[in-house]
Structure 1
Amino acid sequence: MTSLLGIALLALALSGPAGAFVPIGGGTSSHVSITRAALLQKVTETCRTVAKAAGRKFNPTGSSPEELVRAYLGPTATGEVSGAKFHSALREILVQNGLLDRDFANSAPHHFNSEAFLEGRGLIMQGVVAIKANIRKENFQAARETLGRVLHTLQDFYSHSNWVELGNTDPYINLIRPDLPLDNLAGVDTATCSDCASGKCKSQILRKILNEKKLTSGYLSISSSTKPSGKCSHGGVADLTSVTRPRGGISKDERRSDNVAVHNAAVNAATAASLQLLEDIRLAAGDNNFLRMMGIARSSVVCFVIENTGSMSEDISEARAVIDEIIDSKKGTQDEPSEYILVPFSDPSFGPVIRTTDPEQMKAEISKLSAGGGSDHPEMCLSGLQLALTSAPSSSYIYVFTDATAKDIALKDTIIALIRTTKSTVSFFMTTASGRRRRSLTAASFNDYKDLAFASGGQAIQVSKKQLAETTELILDTSTSALVTVLQRARNPGKDEIFRFVLDESLKNVTIYITGTSISFSLTNPTGDSQTQQASGKLGTIKTVGNLMRVRLNADRQAGTWKINIMTNQPYTLKVTGQSIITFIYDFVESFSGSHTGYAILRGRPQAGTPATLMLSVIGRKGPSSMTVGDVNLVPVFGPGSGATSTLTDMGNGDVLVTVNAVPEGEFMVLVKGTDVMSNSKFHRQSTTQMTVSKVTIQAVVDSSVEPGKALKLPFSLMTQGSGGSFSINIRNDRSFPMSYPKSLTLKTRQYSNASLTITPPANTTSGTDTTLTIEVKSSNGFDSNYAELRLSVLTKITDFIRPLCDVVSVRADHCPNDMSQCKPFLWELTAKFTDGNGTGIQSISLRQGTGNLTYTSLSNPLIQANYNASCCSQIVEFIATDKVGNVGKCYHSIVRSGGPTALALSPPLWQWLLIAAFAVIVAVPAGIWIRDNAGKVFGFLQSAAK
């Protein structure tokens, strides 16, 4: 079943034009297709396993990400289920996969070029160790980014080496098993290829190399034609070595008429290898954390940033009540948050970050907060918010409770950069602090919170402490599943204006938010019915708290074009939201060229003076065929107009490349208009995060992890399209790791200037910790600026690559009857011993297959005994042992019988038995003999004739 699913997904991914091992945006591209197919298959397997263990059905209606998520989450609770998080996780992995062709185009180990086999495997193993450590620390974004890069390197082995030409169809398991040697590598002086003047010969590998099963790969250089004598080249126009004898190349990156068989074999082997690596990560992480890494979760994460100084006792008390209400009212629904995060702050302290998936534990953590300490000065609010933005996953909802202005207002630009990068929504609840000295709640200081809130699509609410309880509804509204934005605008100064917005049939719980003072409005539905500001009317109910008006439309509201007429001369913001499975994800991207071309996500602001380019996916009930995209506009936030129109290019797999020639001045947001094909309904959706353009470009790449206590030098480059001059540099990290870097650089127009930063994590930093670096660059006159956000993992050097070993000591299955209809009353037993080969210690033992009872002795012991007993009806058992660095060992056993009393119990045919006979271990037990390999996996049971 698994193999058939993989073949079906792969066939689907590779249909259409000829495939190629190229990055995202390269048409029907095999790096994308292989990675996407492998991820979808592994996620499907994991969802099915978890659902089965929970006694639930898992019957997706199709293979699209939306349908997989709905099939997995839908039966567990009522409410809307969105596939947006899964789509976003897939895109992060796929984009990082493609970026290796931009950031490491000349690195032989990253692509297994130039016979760099040991170095390439080293990169894979370093990456896998980092992924497992990041998952243990719940740093899922860092894990995804590394996973994309590791999969690219692993997949390139099969395209760039002669593995498939040697007749191999299965993956080379040694690439992800560093305890196994890389055998029979061609020596540096060994000729490997014959000359191919046309560059398109069916076979260039020398017969001697094929006969001796020597492993080689093509040499590649984009700057020199030199290569060792007699060696194969990678091939292609960009490879200068391909014109040096022996000419040509052995790369199978692209499917051509002369290499169809080996290209297809490379694709199949690369897909199988990707599945092997994903399975290893899944076993080490556990099914639930593997799915969390892949964005398979209910509602967005909910994060609270709470001041805990003396004047906040009432606020903390109310925060406890708010969280209790969220937990209790949303339990068992799709709106139940998938994770809770708490970040306390005062002065001068902030943190630590407390995170849990257990709602009762979050209740306990909130109850521990006490109001005390701190000072009468403004607090470290933005430092706490910075921790929240870098700890929570993208598109989270963050709620800040404070009664003070921010002491650390210098972080404001950093916070805006992180908001734009993470697309998280931040709302501030600011109360007046009665009896607290030196608290200046001026309009300017509160405006800082308003600026940050609106930049993220959130709200900044200023109320008295007694009114704070009335803001609970806003948190309940926004900490919900499948929340979408239909309209968002701001005016400063305010003016009378009519705003139109389209509500489609899929929208539920439509709510309008207006923040400001001295505002009146009227609301009109598509048939002309109107309502002003009465608390309850024919269109909805209205509630005012502090500077916020909340309008909840009635459930029977009409679909179509609505109007809201705002009347005021004061500044205000307007936002319309609802719940819907129809949404979109987007990233601003830039193209890159080289040996392969593709698109890279911008980690800062788009470039001014050029068209803006976005990679966009619309998500609905099913896959891409169920949705059509009409127009995509960049809409000004503060000014009139609907933005310029755009050109759309279908990139496959639901990705649409959007090019907008005219970018609005100042802040803008993305507006998508389209049609839900299934209901033939028009929809409008808008992004919540503000964006602007910049003439400054920052280039920086993190190419490795860093060890605790050791310094890492990270180069970066700056360039401006505008006037040259002095530009200030400010770099921050959310872990307060020591750093050194130049505070300014002098830039010349359209010329890159190089610099570097040095960062040193403390020696006691836990392995798997990641830190977010934010590089901010600003012109001397302050008119232009940009930022770049990078993630760096701290990883203790790993020397333990030995998997835990299992030895089956005894099996008692002689009581099990031959007639399986009589199996229920009978039990069988197994005893096994686990050891950890390199001494880091076994972290966990779990039951992978089987419905029996598993117990084991203390994990602190060097030798652990596992005891298993089960009904004779449950005839297969598999244990998984994971050590403290993520190495996974298995112990598999079966008592399945077939045929007569001397028949082999398992299903492999005779030819497979003959192949394994030379490596089998015979174990005698009273009921007969077991045949297993040295790792303990049982191939079959030969029952005693006496039995």
Structure 2
Amino acid sequence: MFSSVTAHASLLWLTLLFCPLTETFKPLISRGDDSLTHRDITQRAIYRKTGQVCHAMATAQGQNWTLPIDDNLTAYTLSRACSPGASSLLAPAFQSVVILIYLSNAAVDVLAALSAPHHFDDETFAEGRDLVAQGAAAVKAAVNRRDFLSARISLGFACHTLQDFYSHSNWIEIGNTVPFSTLIRPDTPLDNLAGPDRATCKNCKGGDCSDNLLPEILQEEKLTSGYFSLVSPVKPPGKCSHGGFSDRTSKQDPVGGINKDDTTASHGHLHLRAAQVAINATMELLEDIRLTTGDKDFLRLVGMSQSSVLCFVVDTTGSMSDDITEAKRVSFSIIDLKRGTQEEPSEYILVPFNDPDIGPLIRTSDADIFKQHINKLSASGGGDIPEMSLSGLLLALTAAPASSDIFVFTDAPAKDAELKSTVTALTESTKSKVTFMLTDSSRSARRRQGSGSPPSNRLAEADAQLYRDLAQASGGQAIEVSKSSLPQATVIIEDSSTPALVTLLQAVRTPVRAENFSFLLDELVSNVMLYITGSSPAFTLYSPTGEAQSHELSEGPLGTIQRVGNLQRMQVNTHNRTGLWEITINSTATFTVKVRGQSSINFLFNFVEAFGRAHGDLNLKQSRPSAGKSASLLMSVTGSESLRVTEVALVPVSGSGAVKGTVEALGGEDFLVTVDELPVGNFIIHLRGETSGASRSSPILFHRQSSTQLRASRVAVTASLNGTLEPGAAITVPFTVETNTTAGSYTIRVRNDRGFSVSFPSSVTLEAGGRAEGTVTLTAPPDTPSGTDVTLTIEAEAPGATDSNYVVISFV
């Protein structure tokens, strides 16, 4: 982020509530025609290049390769071919990385909306090529330092600019059917450009622009691109325009445009040809990166070798000696057991915290390096009783890949409880699950109390409830145990280190009566675990065949039950027992119930929303969706060559008032789900579908749930990025808060995960249905190392804390 190589790759993950200001290949979804989007182009290129790399590696090892490398590739078929026997483990992680890359690509249309070089508009060929070259260099540098998250975001950004060249220039019109390789070779000259005074276009004839390039431009194969402006009709005399409704220059002679963004564009008759060359050009860029990184790291970059992540956040204050010993033991056990297997974690993350120190963050793909760092941890100091647990968790959430399982070890209340809303925002944004391993220090330490004073339990009910709330919102758990029984509880960490975990059932209840739950178990799920947390609630599990086992029976026909602290863990015996299972739970206190298993079939989703007037397309919404309004989800379902989504529903955590969505297949593994109105309060997503079985004529029915709790908001927060962040310099981030309900003073909170200096207004005042603006100023210290990534979260909370929303900005 802090060098000329990587500065262009600043990525803003924000709530996209304003229209794009330029036109390109459609970002994500083509509605009503056969146009290809940036999503299509990027995904096809990654799939093809990944297939080529896996094919070459298989051939070199004397293995057979039969999968055709064409547009029919999916994450599942590629995973199965690249790693036979591990497709169920790799497909969901592979697809999640591809999604991150193409969402980063689509974000350029907002981040750099009016930047001509980012879209090769206005004949900015040298500047556009510099951006592509800088992007490729940023990817290679990030891979070299093992920062694959930054590399993937930079890759998506560079791909957007490269792909736009083929839509916005006349490269296709002058007869080319192959990529312009000079764009990824900055040391080669840019020849045969139309000069600044050279006319390039003539007026379109009526609505037909297919013949508006000047004949001599075509004959001499002079390279040009269209001019674009949202506000001014002025362009150099005789120059081509981009064209389209938003382009005011296209109304001035020569009128019309030359873009090929979709089949209805000015040169839409060439759209599919331009898109195909853009796919090949993206593959060429990927090959250039592969030649530098090597095959193994290239496959890690695109997510083909990504497995689970082992992420620990550890309190290192005085009473935590036993906990640290157990964190070492369980991590070493997982590493030693899974090293060299397909289930070996692909990344290790460690965040120690004390008082007041946080970190340093350790992120590595080398298990031995992780071992060295966690082995150095020791318990000391701490000052007063509360600790900086949420600050440590915040750092882990910004470092870990999306959908990670994060484990926090502590025996103390949170000193930084004011970070609760920020942590909640990031768990919603990243869909990572947080499990707290909470130990009672009353029997093991007298830290901070004088040797003659009696020890006390440092976690009061309110303190523990904070951790429970965060765990439940993220889809994790709050495990409350004594220090002596912690080794029995950490088995849950070993469970979660298994790749390709899916959620079959998850619920939180404050009961008034016994309640029944059900989950559908299909034959493609294995290693099923049932977890119930609470004050030892009584439960009975029923199989589809009518067999039953109560909580009182540790060993029974349906599985083995382990009890430790507030956790009951049951390893379920699912042999020949597919179908609908039921659980009856009777409790006098709040409890959670969760059923997880391992399966290749899972779903990934992101809320998207209307782009606006340029294309009527959709783009990423990286915050809470709008309450009382319709909403759309872009969903990918992995794990089968042939599957159909039959139902998607948004189900309130309370269990009543589910809202069903309309499902539209987009081709391959992708679906668009639209709901008319979001549920009130927290909700999760339920998906039902069917897939063909390998050894049966009837389809296999499957049911999956999201883990993270989501919620809608009547507050909207948007932000924009002015420039890039440099060491010792300040950057301003303007933001806007809007609401359609409560007037009054809205509290503003701004956090960043690096502790950089930040200034912002503490509140803004809104009228009902109004909006207010503010500015955040962020300053990085002069000694900030190149490549440092920063995540900035801006929150707005309504009067009385009745509602809130956020926007997350990542500088990479």
- Tell me the TM-score normalized by structure 1: 0.77
Aligned counterpart in structure 2 of residue 764 of structure 1, from 766, 783, 787: 783
Counterparts in 2 of 1:7-22, with a 5 A limit?
21-22=25-26
Counterparts in 2 of 1:930-945, with a 5 A limit?
none
Aligned counterpart in structure 2 of residue 653 of structure 1, from 668, 673, 684: 668
CA 1:707–1:582: 2 relative to 1, 3 Å: same
- The residue that corresponds to 1:23 in the other structure is 27
Counterparts in 2 of 1:742-821, with a 5 A limit?
742-793=761-812
- The residue that corresponds to 1:825 in the other structure is none
Q: Does 1:694 align with 2:702?
A: no
Contact 2:88 2:639 in 1 (8 A): no
Please state how far the C-alpha of 1:227 moved relative to its aligned partner: 2.4
Q: Does 1:708 align with 2:716?
A: no
CA 1:179–1:756: 2 relative to 1, 3 Å: farther
Aligned counterpart in structure 2 of residue 38 of structure 1, from 45, 50, 67: 45
Aligned counterpart in structure 1 of residue 100 of structure 2, from 79, 82, 92: 92
CA 1:236–1:662: 2 relative to 1, 3 Å: closer
* Separation in 1, partners of 2:719, 2:58: 42
Aligned residues: 768
Aligned counterpart in structure 2 of residue 619 of structure 1, from 625, 638, 658: 638
- The residue that corresponds to 1:343 in the other structure is 351
Please state how far the C-alpha of 1:651 moved relative to its aligned partner: 2.2
Contact 1:160 1:252 in 2 (8 A): yes
Q: Deviations over 1:813-849 (max 9, x none)?
A: xxxxxxxxxxxxxxxxxxxxxxxxxxxxxxxxxxxxx
Q: Deviations over 1:440-489 (max 9, x none)?
A: 31111011111111111111111111101101321111110111101111
* Separation in 1, partners of 2:279, 2:173: 17
SS of the aligned residue for 2:458 comes to: coil
- The residue that corresponds to 1:170 in the other structure is 178
- Tell me the TM-score normalized by structure 2: 0.90
Q: Deviations over 1:103-144 (max 9, x none)?
A: 544432222222222332333234333333333343333332
CA 1:346–1:51: 2 relative to 1, 3 Å: farther
Q: Deviations over 1:636-687 (max 9, x none)?
A: 11x2326122211222332211112242221110000111223511111000
Counterparts in 2 of 1:257-272, with a 5 A limit?
262-272=270-280
Letter of the 2:447 counterpart: R
Letter of the 1:672 counterpart: L
Please state how far the C-alpha of 1:555 moved relative to its aligned partner: 4.1
* Separation in 2, partners of 1:60, 1:419: 38
SS of the aligned residue for 1:586 comes to: strand
* Separation in 1, partners of 2:589, 2:690: 37
Contact 2:522 2:700 in 1 (8 A): yes
* Separation in 1, partners of 2:472, 2:626: 22
* Separation in 2, partners of 1:741, 1:481: 41
Aligned counterpart in structure 2 of residue 72 of structure 1, from 71, 82, 92: 82
Contact 1:308 1:372 in 2 (8 A): yes
* Separation in 2, partners of 1:714, 1:154: 27
Letter of the 2:584 counterpart: N
- The residue that corresponds to 2:14 in the other structure is none
* Separation in 1, partners of 2:131, 2:725: 14
* Separation in 2, partners of 1:364, 1:99: 38
- The residue that corresponds to 2:19 in the other structure is none
Q: Does 1:151 align with 2:170?
A: no
* Separation in 1, partners of 2:134, 2:761: 30
Please state how far the C-alpha of 1:612 moved relative to its aligned partner: 2.5
Please state how far the C-alpha of 1:494 moved relative to its aligned partner: 5.2
SS of the aligned residue for 1:466 comes to: coil
Contact 1:298 1:336 in 2 (8 A): no
Contact 2:722 2:732 in 1 (8 A): no
Deviates more, 1:377-386 or 1:197-206: 197-206
* Separation in 1, partners of 2:379, 2:58: 43
Counterparts in 2 of 1:284-363, with a 5 A limit?
284-363=292-371
- The residue that corresponds to 1:558 in the other structure is 577
Q: Deviations over 1:700-748 (max 9, x none)?
A: 2447542222222222222112223221211111111212222222223
* Separation in 2, partners of 1:586, 1:256: 29
Please state how far the C-alpha of 1:236 moved relative to its aligned partner: 2.6
- The residue that corresponds to 2:516 in the other structure is 498
Please state how far the C-alpha of 1:564 moved relative to its aligned partner: 0.8
Deviates more, 1:609-618 or 1:572-581: 609-618
Bigger relative contact order (CA 8 A; separation at least 6): 2
Please state how far the C-alpha of 1:518 moved relative to its aligned partner: 4.1
Contact 1:502 1:684 in 2 (8 A): yes
* Separation in 2, partners of 1:724, 1:258: 46
SS of the aligned residue for 1:74 comes to: coil
Aligned counterpart in structure 2 of residue 609 of structure 1, from 628, 634, 639: 628
Please state how far the C-alpha of 1:429 moved relative to its aligned partner: 0.8
Unaligned runs of 5+ in 2: 1-23, 450-456
Q: Deviations over 1:846-895 (max 9, x none)?
A: xxxxxxxxxxxxxxxxxxxxxxxxxxxxxxxxxxxxxxxxxxxxxxxxxx
Contact 1:386 1:415 in 2 (8 A): yes
Contact 2:42 2:282 in 1 (8 A): yes
Q: Deviations over 1:781-801 (max 9, x none)?
A: 2111001112102xxxxxxxx
- The residue that corresponds to 2:651 in the other structure is 635
Q: Does 1:454 align with 2:465?
A: no
Q: Does 1:668 align with 2:683?
A: yes
Please state how far the C-alpha of 1:750 moved relative to its aligned partner: 4.1
Aligned counterpart in structure 1 of residue 410 of structure 2, from 402, 410, 428: 402
Letter of the 2:75 counterpart: P
Please state how far the C-alpha of 1:187 moved relative to its aligned partner: 3.2
SS of the aligned residue for 2:394 comes to: helix
Please state how far the C-alpha of 1:56 moved relative to its aligned partner: 5.8
Please state how far the C-alpha of 1:237 moved relative to its aligned partner: 3.1
Deviates more, 1:586-595 or 1:573-582: 586-595
Contact 2:111 2:721 in 1 (8 A): no
Please state how far the C-alpha of 1:257 moved relative to its aligned partner: 11
Contact 1:494 1:572 in 2 (8 A): no
Q: Does 1:594 align with 2:613?
A: yes
* Separation in 2, partners of 1:444, 1:494: 22
Contact 2:261 2:268 in 1 (8 A): no
Letter of the 1:630 counterpart: T
- The residue that corresponds to 1:274 in the other structure is 282
Q: Deviations over 1:568-612 (max 9, x none)?
A: 121111111111111111111111123223222221111011023
* Separation in 1, partners of 2:433, 2:774: 33
- The residue that corresponds to 1:571 in the other structure is 590
SS of the aligned residue for 1:613 comes to: strand
- The residue that corresponds to 2:744 in the other structure is 725
Please state how far the C-alpha of 1:357 moved relative to its aligned partner: 2.2
* Separation in 2, partners of 1:610, 1:257: 31
Please state how far the C-alpha of 1:629 moved relative to its aligned partner: 0.7
Instruction: Tell me the percent identity.
Output: 48
SS of the aligned residue for 2:490 comes to: helix
Contact 1:300 1:395 in 2 (8 A): no
CA 1:713–1:134: 2 relative to 1, 3 Å: farther
* Separation in 2, partners of 1:201, 1:663: 43
Structure showing greater Rg: 1
* Separation in 2, partners of 1:296, 1:555: 30
* Separation in 2, partners of 1:382, 1:87: 30
CA 1:659–1:427: 2 relative to 1, 3 Å: same
CA 1:278–1:751: 2 relative to 1, 3 Å: farther
CA 1:201–1:308: 2 relative to 1, 3 Å: closer
Q: Does 1:125 align with 2:133?
A: yes
Deviates more, 1:352-361 or 1:735-744: 352-361
* Separation in 2, partners of 1:575, 1:45: 40
* Separation in 1, partners of 2:327, 2:656: 40
- The residue that corresponds to 1:483 in the other structure is 501
* Separation in 2, partners of 1:547, 1:702: 46
- The residue that corresponds to 1:383 in the other structure is 391
* Separation in 2, partners of 1:488, 1:494: 18
Contact 1:346 1:379 in 2 (8 A): yes
Contact 1:633 1:645 in 2 (8 A): yes
Letter of the 1:674 counterpart: G
